[in-house]
Structure 1
Amino acid sequence: MSDPDISVVICAYTEDRWEDILAAVSSVRAQSRPAVETLLVVDHNSVLLDRLAREFKEVDEVRVLANAGVRGLSAGRNTGIAASRGAVVAFLDDDAVAERDWLRHLAAGFADPRVMAVGGRTLPIWASGRRPAWFPEEFDWVVGCTYRGLPRGRARVRNVLGGNASFRRTAFDAAGGFATGIGRDGDKRPLGCEETELCIRLSRVRPDAVLLIDDRAVIHHRVPAARERFGYFRTRSYAEGLSKALVARSVGTGKGLETERRYTTRVLPAGVARGLGDALLARPGGAGRAGAIVAGVLTAAGGYLVGSVRARRGNVTFAATPIEEGAA
């Protein structure tokens, strides 16, 4: 199969990340395997939209668009998908930079026509310069990064992680776009799982679909100081529980929690044991990591229970959005 054209979508919402946005775009433009275009989708921020439009006015391969849907990351991504022209659409967070061969490794996965999505490896850039001693690698998803427990190399997975992912366009034709009502919307709790729900929905309508991660497709994701604190860790864990309840409501608990069961019964207990072992050996942060894992599990479980009750009462809604070409 020929090497597919790839469009890259970067969703942005705040001027506070101005330098990060420019760095993200620069990393795409420097790829060893060029993208056909980069689409910057701005989420209901006219000042940022105008500023980015001026910044990239003379750059043909960069297009600046306004989110054409409701506020939030899902609708922003759907706007980018609709406006893109590549056979594959890749997504990069606005506060991340891609390594030079990122797109080359993502593209390689699509040589198999069964492959509908390929994700990569996301490494944290800690604002303090290094990982907080108490912060367990098993919970790096809290800060949008690849976490301990995911398979290494190139491997088949249930879902890719949205900040470093690519999808064949026909995946959206088959399953629709990202569901609104799941994930971040700029103002509320740091929700997530919109890519999980999409991937499970895709696998339902295309049972033959293969979804991969390739840890050679590396990006580096900035973690601000506020997200290095335990308060954010707890808030994000709770929000993940809320999000998982929405996913389970959409696709059922079987698929919705399939990966999470292995994670909570095998990966996390091993992490607690490792942390306690480090504590016994007087290694810094061991007890803190063990305690954070336990706290994270309990907090996420609480969020899941609350989210499940809300879902049963009909207090939450979301919808998968059909993608219409040229809608932006």
Structure 2
Amino acid sequence: MSGPDISVVICVYTEDRWEDILAAVSSVRAQAYPALETLLVVDHNAALLDRLSKEYKEATDVRVLANAGPRGLSAGRNTGIAASYGEVIAFLDDDAVAERDWLRHFAAGYADPRVMAVGGRTEPIWASGRRPDWFPEEFDWVVGCTYRGLPQGRVEVRNVLGGNASFRRTAFDFAGGFATGIGRDGDRLPLGGEETELCIRLTRARPDAVLLIDDRAVIHHRVPEPREHFRYFRTRTYAEGLSKALVARSVGADKGLESERRYTTRVLPAGVARGLRDAALARRGGAGRAGAIVAGVLTAAGGYVVGSVRVRRGGVTYSVVGIEGEPRFKGGSR
């Protein structure tokens, strides 16, 4: 099958997701377009590292390695990039499963040599079996999924979403790795935005670079029960505001908030109107969805203000490095 060799990186951190991790690996192994390899990067958890190493001891297509950088998702991804062999590196969440043609659609996007990244569509699997009535589709990013307002089809975008994304290896040679100090870090606030910051850095380094989302590249992401509640919704939206302040500091507010302005001024008002209309028609959850959108905007704005103040005072730091301080990723050699 012609096309680029693709390495798949899955960052893992807790044994609580053991069955999810095995399912994620199995979904990669079942791809119609075979992966060159799957790398499981364990984030500072010796017990999980040992358990996974034993599980895949005999596997020739799965490698288990420890995060070689500071605790957190960004450093784990950077570790996977540096250790991988593929021309393209794809990232899959540890609590998600990919559909059979996931990598095939990614590979097709790279037929154009200008394409530096291809992302896909992430569908939620709700622990309760159905979407909570009050939870607006416009905020599905809160639970790591594709949200209402993203363009459909295979289209050019400012940034891909990190849990279902791929990058050409040379993208990291041009832009460096994922910034540590922006994204998630174990038990800390559920921050995000590291893939946005990287994509903006990439297009600045290579103005001719094309970044795509192909909504046929589908994964299904498990949403645990605690994340179906408003408390998590509020925490995550606040954390997103903090993250956007760091992204704006890194790449400037014009680029860092470009897509968010359209989302806030067009997509969300339409969502509020839809919710109020549903409420007027006595449809379940309409008022709750409208209220959640307003609450989400306010808490994210509050997080952005707090994050901006912290940044100005020097209370928040981040860095753009790979493993052992190296900002470039050449990959291994066989």
Both proteins in one fold, TM over 0.5: yes
Counterpart in 1 of 2:263?
263
Determine the C-alpha separation between the residues in 1 that align with 2:166 and 2:23: 20
2:324 corresponds to which residue? none
1:115 aligns with 2:125: no
CA shift, 1:24, in A, is: 0.2
Tell me the TM-score normalized by structure 2.
Answer: 0.97
Secondary structure at 1:260's aligned position in 2?
helix
Show the 5 A alignment for 1:194-205: 194-205=194-205
Is the CA contact 1:184–1:191 (under 8 Å) kept in the aligned structure 2? yes
State the alpha-carbon separation in 2 of the partners of residues 324 and 109 from structure 1.
22
Residues of 1 paired with 2:328 and 2:39: CA distance?
16
Q: 1:323 aligns with which of 318, 325, 328?
A: 328
**Correspondence for 1:166:** 166
Q: How far apart are the structure 2 equivalents of 1:217 and 1:249? A: 32
- Is the contact made by 1:81 and 1:323 (CA closer than 8 Å) also made in structure 2? no
CA contact (8 A) 2:85 2:331 kept: no
Contact 1:78 1:323 in 2 (8 A): no
Matched with 2:45 is 45
Unaligned stretches of 5+ residues in structure 1: none
Determine helix, strand or coil for the equivalent of 1:145. coil
What's 2:66 paired with? 66
Q: Could you give the per-residue CA deviations for residues 297-325 of structure 1, whole angstroms, max 9, x where no partner exists?
A: 00000000000000000111111111344
Partner of 1:101: 101
Q: What's the counterpart of residue 233 of structure 1?
A: 233
The one-letter code of the counterpart of 1:162 is G
Q: Quick one: distance in 1 between partners of 2:209 and 2:257?
A: 19
Q: How many residues align?
A: 326
Query: What is the CA deviation profile of residues 136-164 of structure 1, one whole-angstrom value per residue up to 9, with x for unaligned ones?
Result: 00000000000000000000000000000
Task: Name the Cα RMSD after superposition.
Answer: 0.8
Give the whole-Å Cα distance in 2 for the aligned partners of 1:14 and 1:147.
26
Return the alpha-carbon distance in structure 1 between the equivalents of residues 53 and 36 of structure 2. 19
The DSSP-based 3-state class of the residue aligned with 1:116 is strand
Matched, 1:246 2:240: no
User: Matches of 2:234 and 2:191 in 1, distance apart?
Assistant: 12
1:187 CA drift (Å)? 1.8
> Shift of the alpha carbon at 1:208?
0.3
Query: In the aligned structure 2, how far is the partner of 1:3 from the partner of 1:182?
Result: 33
Q: Which residue of 1 aligns with 2:294?
A: 294
What TM-score, normalized to structure 1? Answer: 0.99
What amino acid does structure 1 have at the position aligned with 2:206? R
C-alpha distance in 1, partners of 2:331/2:14? 25
> Equivalents in 1 of 2:228, 2:329: separation in Å?
39
1:39 and 1:188 map into 2 onto residues whose CA distance is: 24
Q: What amino acid does structure 2 have at the position aligned with 1:187? A: D
1:154-213 residue CA offsets vs partner (Å, 9 max, x unmatched):
000000000000000000000000000011010210000000000000000000000000
**Letter of the structure 2 residue corresponding to residue 300 of structure 1:** A
Distance 1:66 1:220 in 2: 26
Alignment of 1:171-186 (within 5 A): 171-186=171-186
CA contact (8 A) 1:24 1:96 kept: yes
- Residue of structure 1 in register with 2:82 after alignment: 82
What are the ranges of 5 or more consecutive residues in structure 2 without an aligned counterpart?
A: 322-326
Question: What amino acid is the match of 2:211?
Answer: L
Provide the secondary structure at the position in 1 that maps to 2:265.
Answer: helix
Deviations 1:72-91 (A, max 9, x none): 00000000000000000000
Offset at residue 246 of structure 1 (A): 0.2
Paired position in structure 2 for 1:17: 17
Cα pair 2:169 2:329 within 8 Å, conserved: no
**Percent of aligned pairs with the same amino acid:** 84
Deviation at 1:101, TM superposition (A): 0.2
Please give the alpha-carbon distance, in whole angstroms, between the structure 1 residues aligned to 2:253 and 2:209.
20
CA contact (8 A) 1:238 1:299 kept: yes
Match in the other structure for 1:131: 131
Q: Deviations over 1:42-72 (max 9, x none)?
A: 0000000000000001110000000000000
Structure 1 residue 303 corresponds to structure 2 residue 309: no
Q: Which amino acid is the alignment partner of residue 273 of structure 2? A: A
CA contact (8 A) 1:143 1:227 kept: yes
Q: Encode CA deviations 1:263-319: one digit per residue, 9 max, x unaligned.
A: 000000000000000000000000000000000000000000000000000111111
